[in-house]
Structures are given as structure tokens and as C-alpha cells.
A and B are shown apart, each in its own frame.
Chain A
């Protein structure tokens, strides 16, 4: 069964304290893994697409990496404005629908 699992469920960091969020997936024939950021009461905002193992993408303090079984979202020296829920999603084989994980709620304190 196609599945996406994210951990941890919640993460509290001090400003400047780097960490990583995990997204494990089980899907036949990966056609991409997507990371989104969601602020409270808002729709998810697209961050990255990763297509193959070994691929990396960066944006400001965020770097996403991909292996054959999981993806990591590394946050370097986070700031309070990085506080949000981070979602990952994959499309099952031969479809454009997305299966989402339950997200990691990140809080960064000054």
C-alpha cells in the first residue's frame, strides 16, 4: 500500500539550532516527492520537488534530500519565521493524485 510517514510529529528548536525532518515513503515507481510549507489557516505553499535518489534542492535555510526510501528536510540556523507545518507528499504510480504525510509542526523560538 502506498504510504507516507513523517517524523517527528512536532519539533521545537531554539533560533539557530539546526535539525532535520524526515519523510519515509512506500510507493511503486516514484515520480517525485514534494515538500510543502503550511502556515496556520493557510493553504500549503510549494517548496521543492525531488525526482531521484541523490538529488538535493536548496532554498534559503532549507535543503531537501532524497534516498530510495526517505527524504530529509534539513533546516540550518532556523529563524522564528521558519515556524510552520512541513508536509511531504508523493503521487502513486500512474496517477497525479498526491498522498500526504501528516506533517511536522516546527516551532522556532528566539
Chain B
């Protein structure tokens, strides 16, 4: 089945630690995105990548980093510099030139 797989589904992080969220897609999409979702707020764009080995900051990139070494994979690292990392993180992908995005099932990150 084609789709987007995010792992893990739940993640707990101690303060001061970096954590990496995985996102893999087998849709052969060129573009991939990371969004953050908080209660009462719309999805906000963290980073996006339109092609391998290239990515751009979104609206709330501070405290996050990404890499795009393979077309299928777009991991997101939440660093200790992110002041309020507890949130629901969503990965998405789309065909290049089309904004219609398809989403994974999300990772809920909690700082303990």
C-alpha cells in the first residue's frame, strides 16, 4: 500500500535532549513537509523540501532541523533549543508543482 509512515506514534523526551522523528513515503512524491499542530491552532509549517538534498525553513523552523538524503525519507530533529516542543507533528508529501498534500498519521511528542 502506498502511503506515508511516521514513527514512533508517541515519543517522550527529557528536557535538554534532541529527538528525531521519522517520516518515510513510498508515493514517489518529490516534495515533503513537516507541520506542527497545537490545540486551537492551525497546522504550522516547520520545514519543507521540494527535492533531495534541498530544504527550506517554514514559519516556525527555530529549534528544529531536517535532512533530505533520500527521496523517500525526511526526518525531523527536535533540538534542545526548541522552547516548547510538546505537540503533534505531521509529515506530508505532494507531487512537485501540486499543493495537494497527503499526510502521515502523526507523532505525538511530549517533554517530561
A and B: bona fide binding partners = yes
Q: Are A31 and B99 in contact (CB under 8 A)?
A: yes
Q: Are B108 and A102 in contact (CB under 8 A)?
A: no
Question: Looking at the complex, which one of B41, B42, B44, B96 makes contact with A4 (CB distance below 8 Å)?
Answer: B42
A49 and B48 contact, Cβ closer than 8 Å, known pairs A43-B105, A43-B106: no
Q: What is the distance, in angstroms, from A29's C-beta to the closest C-beta of chain B? A: 12
Tell me, yes or no, whether A78 is within 8 Å of chain B by CB: no
How many A-B pairs have beta carbons closer than 8 Å: the answer is 64
Q: Are B40 and A102 in contact (CB under 8 A)?
A: yes
Which residues from chain B sit less than 8 Å from chain A, CB to CB? 4, 6, 31, 33, 35, 40-45, 48, 50, 58, 88, 90, 92, 94, 96-106, 108
Which residues from chain A sit less than 8 Å from chain B, CB to CB? 4, 31-32, 34, 36, 41-46, 49, 87, 89, 91, 95-103
A91 and B105 contact, Cβ closer than 8 Å, known pairs A97-B45, A102-B42: no
The A interface is mostly helix, strand or loop, or mixed, namely: loop
Query: CA A39 – CA B28 in complex, angstroms?
Result: 26
Q: Are A96 and B42 in contact (CB under 8 A)?
A: no
Question: Looking at the complex, which one of B41, B44, B94, B106 makes contact with A42 (CB distance below 8 Å)?
Answer: B106
Q: Are A96 and B97 in contact (CB under 8 A)?
A: yes
A100 and B94 contact, Cβ closer than 8 Å, known pairs A32-B99, A32-B100, A41-B106: no
Chain B residue with the shortest CB-CB distance to A9: B40
Q: What is the distance, in angstroms, from A22's C-beta to the closest C-beta of chain B? A: 15
Q: Are A101 and B42 in contact (CB under 8 A)?
A: yes
Q: Are B41 and A102 in contact (CB under 8 A)?
A: yes
Task: Report A-chain residues with C-beta under 8 Å of the C-beta of B31.
Answer: 96
Q: A87-B42, A87-B43 are in contact. List 7 more A-B contacts (CB 8 A).
A: A34-B99, A36-B103, A96-B96, A96-B97, A97-B58, A101-B42, A102-B41
